Amino acid sequence: MIEIKICGFKRRKDIIDAINCGIKWIGLNFYEKSPRYINEKEAKMLIENLPEEVKKIGVFVNPNEKELFEMIKKINLNGVQLHGNEPPSLLKKLKNLFPNLIVIKGIRVKNKIDLLKKIKKYKNADYFLLDKYEKNLFGGTGKIIRKDLSEISLPWDKIFIAGGINPENVKDILKKYKPFGIDIASGVEIAPGIKDIEKIKKLINEVKNVS
């Protein structure tokens, strides 16, 4: 089945509900300007004693390197998702310091040429996350990516699609792009960071029908 990553959790109950439904990718937002922001203490409480197979991914935007490395160690993250203008050297350092760490590079898609350049630029990433470009937003746009991306050759087996995905449109999006996975937050929420278990169940069923 296509992987489903649910991002921006703020309640332990929602994480447990999602895991019980079969979700294996959990996103925690450490970007202070996000409505889904959590701090280190909150993160520790949210992910304490989760099943080993669950991938705990921290979302960061232009983080301080030292603070990022410390956060990975302190809360035992399985991966990081970088959504800013981080230098490629940071990805290389992460892979050297944490060989088993999953590194996802978020790319705000302006146009085809820019996208291809960035995928080449961040070649050390394990996965890419494609989101719609908005000048003053580092992800979380809630808007669907460009429709013409399916026409170019991309490493879709390493790509998560994000932006405006919900249980009603996920099937059409997956049929069009056939990505490795999807990343969703607002599409399964009641309010920012507050998840709706029924929406999660519906999303999973729709994805299963595609796979």
pLDDT tens sequence across 23-74: 999 999 999 999 999 999 999 999 999 999 999 999 999 999 999 999 999 9
* Fold assignment, 3-210: TIM Barrel (3.20.20)
Closest CA to 158 of 174, 175, 181: 181
Neighbours of 19 (CB within 10 A): 16
pLDDT tens sequence across 145-188: 656 676 678 999 999 999 889 999 999 999 888 899 999 999 99
pLDDT, mean over the chain: 91
- 21/141 Cα distance (integer angstroms): 26
- 159/136 Cα distance (integer angstroms): 23
Owner of token pair 């013409």? 148
- The per-residue DSSP string of 71-87 comes to HHHHTT-SEEEE-S---
The pLDDT score that the predictor gives to residue 23 is 98
**In contact, 129 and 81? CB cutoff 8 Å:** yes
The pLDDT score that the predictor gives to residue 125 is 97
Closest CA to 29 of 17, 16, 39: 39
The pLDDT score that the predictor gives to residue 114 is 87
The pLDDT score that the predictor gives to residue 166 is 95
- 47/29 Cα distance (integer angstroms): 13
What does residue 126 show for φ and ψ, rounded to 5 degrees? -75, -35
- 90/95 Cα distance (integer angstroms): 9
pLDDT over 90 (residue 193): yes
pLDDT tens sequence across 5-23: 999 999 999 999 999 999 9
Q: Model pTM?
A: 0.93
pLDDT over 60 (residue 141): no
The pLDDT score that the predictor gives to residue 152 is 77
